Every structure is written in structure tokens, then in C-alpha cells.
Amino acid sequence: MLKTLANFSSLAAISTTMLSMVGVPVATAVTTADVIVVVDESGSMYNEHEWLGSMIPDLDEALQNDGVTNNRFGLVGFGSSLSTGYLGRSIPVGGSFFGTSAQFVTATNTLVHPGGFEDGYSAIDFALSNYSFRPGAAVKMILVTDEDRDNGNSSLNFTNILAALQRGSSPDDDILLNTVIDANFIGDALGISSNGKSYTADGMGGFNTTQLPSLSGIVTSSFRNTQMDYVDLALASGGAVWNLNKLRDGGLNATSFSNAFIDIKVEEITQSPEPVPERTSTLALVGLGVLGSMLGLPKQK
């Protein structure tokens, strides 16, 4: 019996080594993030542009406090009345596509707000097509708009935009989308995450968290097709949805909104989803088969 146990320990160690050699994925802590903000440049969005300039440095500080450093921030505008770029345009951050949170603040001052045709899908597509993300970085996207989608490119739809956000074979590669949109949620929530957590203002600038039984019926009202365009997309991506009207309330509600938003973004970035295992290699299967035969395990018929 003791000899059998000794053999088992040795063979288990060999099998573990073989599995690691063939690339079975191992979860690792995120140490840096690429965050890209895609924001509506229509005439009603001035206050949201200012909010982004104050929120991003706070988000960066919170990430650094959790050990996520050297973070990069990008900015894409859409919906402006400019002759070009109304479906998406790059706003330089520190003279490049990405920069520091301090450089992001300066970049928000170059956003415009005289537009009126807002196609968030085209803007997301623009961002994904023109921005390169670092290997190993957590990549997150924030979309801010107060209208539903105006379709400026009929080749883009919910399905292919979601597929573009879901990069690679592992959820670790996915780009989680958070949308700040004109939608009201059940329980007067500030926002709701894809795992069914609801965040509500506590009246003191903080927030409370409640676990919802499901995501069914969470939208009580929204601007035109906002739910189908942006709520469903964000939740399907694994991200979260946020009620822009709570931010526009100002005062303690706006403070609660920002605090909840930052906390959830930090949680998304620092708590990566479990990786989906790659297909097991022949070598690993052989190793496990040898292990089973040497231990005298019964064969399956």
C-alpha cells in the first residue's frame, strides 16, 4: 500500500509537469491595463466630457493602489459635426493613441460637442481597428452616449461587434465593455454588472451592492433602442451598464455613480475571468493514460 502511494505521488508529479509543458493555461494576476474611452461628441455631452477628465485619474490611482501600474488610456470621439471622423476619430493622448491618465485629462479638452449623428457601433469598430493593445494587459472599453445608435454603417451589427470584443479563445482576452447610457434600471440602480450585481446610491456619496436573481427585466425605460443597442451589448461582453441620468443628477448621486463606476472597473481589471482550457495535446493525453495504467485504474469501455 505504501509503495502504491509513493508511486502515485511520483506519477502525479510527472503528470503535472507534463501538463504544464504542453501549455495548460494558468491564471496570472493582471499587472497593467489598456483602457479606451469611446465618447459621443454631440451637443448635449459637454458635462460628460468633463466627468471623464476627472474620473480617469481617479480610476488610475485606484488601479495603482491595487498593484496595476503603467496603465494606458486612449480616447475616441464620435458623432461630431466635423466633415470627417463623425463615425469615429482618434483624439491624441500625449501625442499618441495612448497616454497617461494626466495626458488623458488634457486630451478631453480637445473633444468637441456640436454633433448630432451618433453611431456607437462604428466608433467601437474604429477603436478596435485602429488601436493596438499590449499583450498581457487587461483591455477594457468605456462607451459614453446619451442616445441610441444612429446607423452609419449597415455592415456593423450587434453580432459582429460582440464578436470583435470577444477576442481569442479565452475569456481573458475579451474586451469588457461598460456603457454609460440613457437607461433607467430596476431598483433605481446606478448600474448593473453582467453577473447580476446592482449598485444603488446610499445617499452619502457611497453605494450599496445587491445581487439580482437574474438580468431579466432590469431596464425600466431607455431612450429609443438604447437597450438593444448598448445595454444588451455591454452585458453580453461581460461588462456593465450605467445610468447616465444618475451622473447628470449631480450632487451625491453623481459622487455615488463615480465611486461605484471606479470600483467596478477596478474589480473587472484585477479579477480576470478563469481561462478556458486549450485543447489537450496528444502528449498530455498519453501522459495521463500512462499514469492510469501504471496505477492499475480500470479502462473505460
Summarize pLDDT for 220-257 with one digit per residue, the tens: 999 999 999 999 999 999 999 999 999 999 999 999 99
Domain spanning 33-184+220-270, CATH class: alpha beta
Question: Where do the domains of the chain lie?
Answer: 33-184+220-270
CA distance 3 to 135: 46
pLDDT < 70 positions in the chain: 1-27, 83, 272-301
Q: What is the pLDDT of residue 16?
A: 42
Residue 158, classed as helix, strand or coil, is: helix
**Residue 184: strand, helix, or coil:** strand
- Strand locations in 106-227, DSSP E? 138-144, 176-181, 183-185, 191-193, 197-201, 207-211, 219-222
| Per-residue confidence (pLDDT) for residue 85, from 0 to 100 | 79
Cross-strand bridge partners of residue 222:
183
Non-local (6+) Cβ contacts of 154 within 8 A are none
Provide, for the chain, the percentages of residues in helix, strand and coil under a 3-state DSSP scheme, each rounded to the nearest 5. 40, 20, 40
What the block records as the C-alpha cell of 121 is 457601433
How far, CA to CA in Å, does 125 sit from each of 155, 163, 177?
11, 11, 13
Q: Residue 80: what pLDDT?
A: 86
- Alpha carbon distance 98, 92 (integer Å): 7
- Rg (Cα) of the chain, in Å, rounded? 23
Residue 225: its pLDDT value, please? 98
Q: Global pTM? A: 0.83
